[in-house]
Amino acid sequence: MTLIKSISGIRGTIGGTIGDNLTPIDAVKFAAAYGTWIKEERNKETYRIVVGRDARISGEMIQQLVMNTLIGMGIHVIDVGLSTTPTVEMAVPMEHADGGIILTASHNPKQWNALKLLNEKGEFLSGKDGAKILEIAESNKISFAEVDDLGKITVNDAYIDLHIEEIVNSSWVDVDAIKDANFKVVVDGVNSTGGIAIPRLLEELGVEVVKLYCEPNGHFPHNPEPLKEHLTDICKLVVKENADLGIVVDPDVDRLAFIDEKGNMFGEEYTLVAVADYILGKQAGNTVSNLSSSRALRDVTEKHRGKYQASAVGEVNVVQLMKDTNAIIGGEGNGGIIFPEFHYGRDSLVGAALFLTHLAEKKISVSELREEYPAYFMSKNKIELTPQLDVDAILAEMEKKYATEEISTVDGVKIDFPENWVHLRKSNTEPIIRIYTEAKSQQEADQLAEKIMQEIKEIAGI
């Protein structure tokens, strides 16, 4: 089964059978459930929903199905076409819309697509709201409009430019400093909408752009998750072009990674660290990331006399804790920057502009900037268990075993040791425990992971 129905949206592979994959029938069903929820939640005379998509091959088909379902419910649609997740998030409040749908499967391969659902603030739905939509989808209590009450589609393809305009005009972005730095940047847009948005932003900032895989045709030239093992082409091209850095985004442009001038990864975990360092250097405040993100953010926050806190994994959880703690910057270690001055969502365009401002003001190279931050190394592993085993009981035993250490049970079990940490999370869909560790060397991180995995196996009797 490759249709994943969760509180954060509907994700699946194109084709196959209804209910097992993201078929046209499933796209209509869940769009209608979302439309029904919008009507119940907003309870108005007229409704408006913003719809945009990344450049996936299936995107246009899914978008037409979703938009026509909504107009069949009497809902007006603002079609922003090829766009980015953060752009749609910003378009919703700009349009005074009741919600938004982004058609993207984020970093998943090209056969996947998804409906990411937003509320009237342009933010991802809460768990409670997502659960309600799933309930509506299975209830068959969905009503469509009569012929005189059908909605209309309005096309507005200006929002990427409006998004860029907001960034360029922000007091947080020093356009003059960036222009004076004469940066040359290679951009890998993985043949999706990042190939439209990122070069356009950089050109507005006076940056020389070298494009790599920036044709938005949905044929991803490599695995679209921006990890080191997938980015050999841009690493080579940065060196060949004698560029100052490389910028890599995922297909919907909410994850951001950098390549230094030597062709080395800056480190996806360090995208947020560097941007937070810049923001905290301008304004005192608190930060938030999730429990599986690098300790380096905590170190940088404390250096600036702020307070760092960790949320459960998931963007909606990070956002909620940021609001609760008045955090001025936050995000996720996967390269997701959330800067509330713009909106409460991961935004690679905002992240890139802030990073370039930081680099321009410091007048140093990307590799030199990386050396300023604490060096941590991660190991990510998983243990597959039999369905009969009680995963919660196993995690409870690990919590008991390390009761003298600093422990969080907000999301699984995280054990903070003085020099390193381990985070144990169970999968919601499979009998799996994910094991993330971080330490001051790769060897130490790997050894800690091996030790913890062995202890779990002993508890489980496997």
At 115, list the tokens.
């409906």
Model pLDDT, residue 389: 83
Average pLDDT over residues 269-275: 97
**Cβ neighbours of residue 411 closer than 8 Å, sequence gap 6 or more:** 290, 291, 311, 312, 313, 317, 425
Is the confidence at residue 300, as pLDDT, over 50? Answer: yes
Is the confidence at residue 7, as pLDDT, over 80? Answer: no
**Cβ neighbours of residue 11 closer than 8 Å, sequence gap 6 or more:** 3, 4, 22, 105, 108, 112, 113, 114, 115
Which is the catalytic residue, given 58, 106, 192, 292?
Answer: 106
Is the confidence at residue 400, as pLDDT, over 50? Answer: yes
Model pLDDT, residue 385: 82
Contact 172, 354 (CB under 8 A): yes
Model pLDDT, residue 1: 47
**Which domains does the chain show, CATH number per domain?**
3-157 (3.40.120.10), 162-371 (3.40.120.10), 377-460 (3.30.310.50)
Residues in the chain: 462
Q: State the Cα–Cα distance between residues 18 and 103, nearest whole angstrom.
A: 19
Average pLDDT over residues 23-51: 97
- What SS3 class is residue 190? coil
What integer best gives the mean pLDDT of the chain?
95
Is the confidence at residue 184, as pLDDT, over 50? Answer: yes
| Helix (H), strand (E) at residue 459 | helix 442-460
Burial of 142 (0-12, 13-18, 19+ CB in 10 A): middle
Give the global pTM.
0.95
CA distances (Å), origin 179, targets 63, 174, 197: 38, 9, 18
Model pLDDT, residue 373: 97
Average pLDDT over residues 218-223: 96
Give the pLDDT confidence of 345-394 residue by residue, as tens digits: 999 999 999 999 999 999 999 999 999 999 999 999 999 888 788 889 99
Model pLDDT, residue 146: 97
Q: Is 379 a catalytic residue?
A: no
Query: Of the spans 197-206, 382-391, 427-436, which averages the highest pLDDT?
Result: 197-206
CA distances (Å), origin 121, targets 88, 165, 333, 347, 365: 11, 20, 24, 15, 38
- What SS3 class is residue 319? helix
Model pLDDT, residue 429: 64
Top pLDDT among 386 and 344 is at 344
The candidate with the shortest Cα–Cα distance to 218, out of 347, 58, 79, 87, is 58
Backbone angles phi, psi at 288, to 5 degrees: -140, 140
